[in-house]
Amino acid sequence: MPEDPYQTLGLSNGATAKEVNRAFRKLAKRYHPDLNPGDEAAEARFLAVTAAHDYLTAQQDHGAPVFGAASDRAYEAELEARLRARRGGAPGFGEKLRKLFSRG
């Protein structure tokens, strides 16, 4: 199972939205694939940081709890979906939406 999304961003549980965003920007810049061409470890770390940020942001936006077994499974599923899509596996949610709303 992936580590806690707060740990992924280097934060303590209950960090504010501002702290989450600040940590994400710092780590995303450090591990971005364009700044680390060919480094698969950096790419995987970038995807994990992005998934953690998206997950925590969505949880904070909806006021839902960000802890417990259900949230752990949701975070794990989100991260696995991103990694699978990045490696050419099943289409990601964005691709599904593009197909749904594409003309022709």
- Are 41 and 83 within 8 A, CB to CB? no
Domain count of the fold of the chain: 1
Give the pLDDT of residue 90: 55
**b/e burial code for range 32-48 (CB count within 10 A of at least 16 → b):** eeeeeeeeeebbbbbbb
CATH number at residue 66: 1.10.287.110
Give the pLDDT of residue 24: 94
* Residue 95 belongs to domain spanning: 5-101
- Are 5 and 48 within 8 A, CB to CB? no
Q: Report the predicted TM-score, pTM, of the whole model to 2 decimal places.
A: 0.60
How confident is the chain (104 residues) per 10-residue block, as mean pLDDT? 79 88 94 91 90 83 54 69 69 58 59
CA distance 94 to 34: 21
